[in-house]
A and B are shown apart, each in its own frame.
Chain A
Amino acid sequence: MTDQSHTRFSVALNVNGVKRKTEVRSADILLDVLRNNFGLTGAKPGCLNGDCGSCTVLVNGWPIKSCMMLAVAASNTNIVTVEGLKGSATQRAFIEKNAFQCGYCTPGFIMNIEGLSAIHPDADDSIIEEWLQSNICRCTSYEEIKAAVYKVLGKKPEAGR
């Protein structure tokens, strides 16, 4: 690495419906720019490695692990973070179903479910599982999160398995 890598470029990012200009290094990940440059700390670092999903945001409607995307690659996209939601069904369901404890994984799960419910409004259990296995919650039993997803998708809770 040379000092060159600390040089900054100007980029414009479209975040939560607002076009915002900022300075980034070419190596800066989207997560760090959202958090450090814009103060949008809802997306959390959990592993910076794509393993935990706590950094999930929507990019053009798809849940993306913002630790795995360079900030420069996100210009000309539409980025939505948890701060961009305004009392969404997922947020309400999380409160109603007690789907969090420490809350650290919560923005990531919520953004993933926001993407899921838009892209697969009729998702069955196997699709839900495939999507939500990309996030880790260490506090809850996942039953509470499952109840919240079901609520968002309008699915009936099944009895046992």
Chain B
Amino acid sequence: MESIGRSVIRKDAVAKVTGAAKYTADLKTVGSLYAKLVTSPYGHARILSIDTSAAEKVNGVHKILTGKDTNILTGEEIKDRPILATDRVRYHGEPVAVVIADTLAIAKQAANLVNVSYSPLPVIRSPKEAYQQGVPLVHEHLGDYEKIAEVFPKPGTNICNHTKIRKGSMEIGWAKSTVVVETEVSFPPSDHCAMETRSVSAEILPNGQVIIHSSSQVPFTIKKMLSSIFGLNQGKITVHTPLVGGAYGGKSAIQLEFIAYLASSAIGGQKVQLINSREEDFITSPVHLGLDAKVKLGCDAEGYLQAAEITLLFDGGAYSDKAVDMSRAAATDCTGPYQVENLWCDSFCMYTNHPYATSFRGFGHPESTFAVERAIERLAEKLGMDPIEFRWKNAIRPGQTTPTQVILNESRIGNVRRCIERVRELINWEEGRRIEITPERIRAKGVSCFWKNSNIDTNAGSGAILKFNEDGTVHLNCGVIEIGTGSRTVLAQIAAQKLGIDVDQIYVEMDIDTSSTPEHYKTVASRGLWMAGRAVLAAAEDAIGQLLNVAAQVFRVSLDDLDIGKGFVFLKDNPARKLALKELVYGYVYPNGNAIGSQVIGRGSYTLRGMTFLDPKTGKGVPGPDWTVGAQAVEVEWNKRDYTYKILRAVTVIDAGTIINPKLAQGQVKGAMHMGLSFASREGFIFGPNEVVETTQFRTYKVLRYGENPDYTVDFVVTPSRETAYGLRGIGEHALIGMPAALANSLSTAAEVHLNRLPLTPELIWRMKTGGVR
């Protein structure tokens, strides 16, 4: 009956292969109205006028809203984003108006008739450009915006957040460095590309009850934001989130929910559905941020890192959303999992005229890791040391301190060196990292390490309820969204293990209802199992306490005399004296009819402990409870003649702590590697004049397809966490983090040229190799 360490079949498996699985847009209601957005065709423009008269004449149109009707600024950290643009649009795809009609076809027809006249404005095309003196400002009134205390925008510039990390002494660091390199990297914004586009519905009942359905990672935050922005009592708002069709961070932003709520309220509360088209999902809703970065590293003659100076300029796009947090998160882990005594990092989140960014799997880490790992590769090369050996030597260990000066122990950091050693074996490093197969075909290998902490709110938490049925089966109710990771199944395994029953006895509904589901902060940051796992354990302990209490009375023994397992409560010294759980879960009934006890409902909750805000001057502070670490490698075959390449193999060794469900863990790690390789090899928006995005369909924005994938190898190092349920660690994002760097390192080795930009297309390699001249 062990549930831990078993590849239990996902609880949502049958629903997902039969079409029974319901996602937000599958929930149809008779009488629902449909909304369609009118969006900006420019990257930056003044709105001169909006004429809705022709659109209003279309039969079946109920209402058209524009920025005039919705003069409210939103944003979780900085309130800088209007729900609908008012006098000005700041990115291509920005919502300008919304049409509400009887059918989607009518709404679309009318949206085409809304006549907006614009006068284009000069655009900010990159974070580097945004950082220059004297360039146009994306937000002139930055100083007037409401904001939380932990972000540091600079009014009068395009800087929407500045994080400083200062550790040790740069003077000493550079003095100790005998070898120094400087590397610059850059890549454009790209997209999450969840297969389910974002979709919402909103309805306001006559009693004022607001009902939202949203394809989201943050239903509880939607409730809080609607409450604070529209002045509604939180009890009046219910947010439902059924299964989510992929998220990867992209569904942690709140955008369409505001529009749908306003649309419903403008027509007397009738239900309104708003579903992104793929084109809108690419650019209207938030994207994955871009980066321009500079890294200067120094090491001594033995190859120990002595100094790092890192400048990160993130492309947060037109509005701040979560990009400001990602820029901070990247700074906290900016060195990668290496010991660096003397460190200076400036991380800036910049406003540009690009679609705005929100969380993306890895939360700032894949981006900064690409920068620092490319620099490490060059440093090892310049020093003349094997790049794996260099990384192993510098790998961070218990007793050392992170960039934000957290002192590490084994539970917090795991075992980076062991991961590196194992990757070296699995990729067969000894055979050589650059092999000419034929004069044209080169095989090459590259490596990278990764680490990541969570960087979420210091008081983030989670709750769980375990409710028994009369027959001893259990309902697990918790707020982690099933976005594809299988977390709700793994949580059932944790509950089953603790309660000593079979995992088949535990039932998990897949949808979340914020009014009856215990809150889980947000389904982000690989903290689902981490926090909810603790809540489920606490709920199970609570339930066990109730069961033992009743059993103690029946047996007339003390609580210490009892134990639970295999579906029974029994006497420790005489296990034959036992009561089946079903005799206890609704209270115990004596032969004469007397009853004691009552339905067992286990309750548990958990809040992160010991987290702190960062010191604004030095960055000192605790950004999260622990790091998940690992090492990765990629092997490519590159063709010298036409610059094309094939990714042959990708390897990840991750210190995942205790593995609760091996098959699901493998799937998470491989999926993340895959997304990282897709991003690194072919993704990134292409911008035209006025920063109009030219790639808003899958035929122009390419992602990896079946058969383009390499072989994936995943292995686990197990350093259990001392803080989590059964010693697990978060693994949802991490295997993406090192992939871009490992791919760039392998291709740079193959082509013998420094490849510091993404995506790594054959054309880029050709340009770098030849200067773009034939």
Contact = CB atoms under 8 A, between A and B. Distances in A.
Given A101-B667, A132-B706, A51 B698 contact: yes
Nearest to B22: A41
A139 interface: yes
A98 B484 CA distance: 11
A100 interface: yes
Interface in B1-43: 9-10, 12-23, 25-26, 28
Nearest to A161: B711
A100 B486 CA distance: 10
Contacts of A3: 58-59
B234 interface: no
Given A82-B19, A100-B17, A136-B195, A49 B667 contact: no
B671 interface: yes
Interface string B204-220: 00000000000000000
A135 to B, nearest CB: 7
B195 A44 contact: yes
A141 B275 CA distance: 27
Nearest to B709: A142
A129 to B, nearest CB: 4
A146 B706 CA distance: 8
Contact of A133 (B246, B705, B712): B705
Nearest to B199: A45
B18 A41 contact: no
Contact of A100 (B16, B20, B663): B16
Contacts of B28: 35-36, 39, 41
B246 A138 contact: yes
Contacts of A51: 278, 697-699
A42 B712 CA distance: 30
A139 B671 contact: yes
B483 interface: yes
Interface in A40-87: 40-49, 51-52, 54, 81-83, 85
B673 interface: yes
Interface stretch (B103-111, B324-332, B741-749): B103-111
Interface centre among A25, A91, A145, A146 (most CB of B within 10 A): A91
Interface centre among B18, B705, B706 (most CB of A within 10 A): B706
Nearest to A2: B109
A160 B711 contact: yes
A47 B194 contact: no
A46 B275 CA distance: 11
B9 A103 contact: no
A6 B60 contact: yes
A106 B667 contact: no
Interface in A113-149: 125, 128-129, 132-133, 135-146
A140 B667 contact: yes
A129 B707 CA distance: 6
A10 B710 CA distance: 49
A103 B709 contact: no
B103 A6 contact: yes
A66 B382 CA distance: 56
B195 A46 contact: yes
B245 A44 contact: yes
Contact of B18 (A54, A91, A129, A143): A91
Contact of B698 (A45, A52, A81, A107): A52
B706 A133 contact: yes
Contact of B19 (A45, A49, A81): A81
B551 to A, nearest CB: 38
A137 B648 contact: no
Contacts of B25: 45
A89 to B, nearest CB: 11
A150 to B, nearest CB: 13
27 contacts: A6-B105, A6-B106, A25-B105, A39-B28, A42-B20, A44-B195, A48-B278, A49-B278, A51-B699, A52-B698, A81-B19, A95-B9, A98-B664, A101-B484, A101-B667, A102-B196, A103-B16, A103-B243, A104-B23, A104-B196, A107-B17, A110-B17, A136-B698, A136-B703, A138-B675, A141-B667, A141-B671
The 3 closest A-B pairs by CB, nearest first: A42-B19, A104-B245, A102-B484
